[in-house]
Amino acid sequence: MTYHRSEILFAFAIALAIVLGYFLRHVLLLIYVSALFAVVLDPAIDAIQRLRLGTWHPKRGIALLAIIFAGIATIALFVSFALPPILRDAQQLATAWPEKAIQVYERIRHLPIAPSIQPSSLQQHIATAMGGALGLFGSIAGGLFGFFSWAILTIYFVLDGRRAFRWLMSMFDLPQRERLEATLLLAKQRVRHWLLGQGALMLALGFSSALAFGLLEVRYFYALAVFSALANIVPILGPIVSVVLAGTVAAFDSWTKMAGVMIFFVVYQQLENAYLTPRVMKSTVDLPPLAVVIALALGGALAGIIGALVAVPSAALIAVIADQYIVKSECLEVNVPS
């Protein structure tokens, strides 16, 4: 009777945990993503901590501050070079906006679809777009709140993650603890390599877009290339924003340049999704190309942009755990003599 009572209580606890996990899924996802990025940043923190100035070496907090300041300085340096010509052209555009508006109207009027555009329907679409814009501002505000929450959690995981990891391991018996700790440390190494693969994909897009936009003579091609490379780390949303931004800039010059930009992004995205991403992730996180594609599809379907962002490192983590606790355990059972 006691044994069955324990089974019932355990099953009830599992069901309660599943229900709580469902209601807290957004918070749990935020915690998981923060911990994952803390693991990815850990090698850079360790590299800075290995620096020596006499007998002094930086602590983890100083190393984290150094990375943050280095990122801010890089952004400020880029903005100082890229922003002045953009602001100058924006002032000229604001001065000559009536003339530019007439030119844009004339271009639209000569398009083949222009006769089918009705003013009433156009006004309706504009009103709908304005309503959508208000919703977009709300989404941006929520996204900023989520970003700052993620940043704070990531900082805490970087500073106190090792102590939290030791506390978590202390909850298991010694034989289980040793195996689980070795498995998680192995998974940590593979997850770290994901950032190298993602950086390679970002560089590939940056160089190819700079070359394509330069050949098309798109204004601010260097700034657009850097933005496209950085935005590429965010699946789905990053490429969409890059296409809209680059296409808008090119459209102010000519529809031909805009078409060239669109064709470049369509071709590159097909090449990246079908060839580059599976093979780069295969060489960095040691996952088959098919597993990478499935992981990206499942991550996007389950958790949208964030799910697609962490899909590949999560697949690497699951692969290591499955290899240690399923594949090798079955091999041991087969090899044990009867």
Domain ranges within the chain, ordered by starting residue: 26-97+135-171, 173-338
Over residues 43-54, the mean pLDDT reads 84
Q: What is the pLDDT of residue 336?
A: 47
- Highest mean pLDDT range out of 4-8, 88-92, 97-101, 238-242? 238-242
**Amino acid identity, residue 63?**
A
Q: What is the pLDDT of residue 81?
A: 79
Between 45-49, 71-75, 90-94, 263-267, the lowest mean confidence (pLDDT) is in 90-94
Residues with Cβ within 8 Å of 131's Cβ and at least 6 positions away in sequence, in order, are none
CA–CA separation, 311 and 330 (whole Å)? 27
Q: Which two tokens stand for residue 93?
A: 């555009």
Between 26-30, 134-138, 157-161, the lowest mean confidence (pLDDT) is in 134-138
Model pLDDT for residues 296-306, shown as the tens digit of each residue? 888 888 877 78
Model pLDDT for residues 180-193, shown as the tens digit of each residue? 888 888 888 888 88
Q: HSE (CB half, 13 Å, CA atoms) of 9?
A: 6
Q: What is the pLDDT of residue 323?
A: 84
Q: What percent of the chain has pLDDT over 90?
A: 6
Q: Which two tokens stand for residue 308?
A: 């697609």
Residue 299: C-alpha distances to residues 44, 151, 233, 325 (Å): 27, 21, 14, 23
Q: Which two tokens stand for residue 103?
A: 């030119």
Q: What is the pLDDT of residue 130?
A: 47
This prediction has a pTM of 0.71
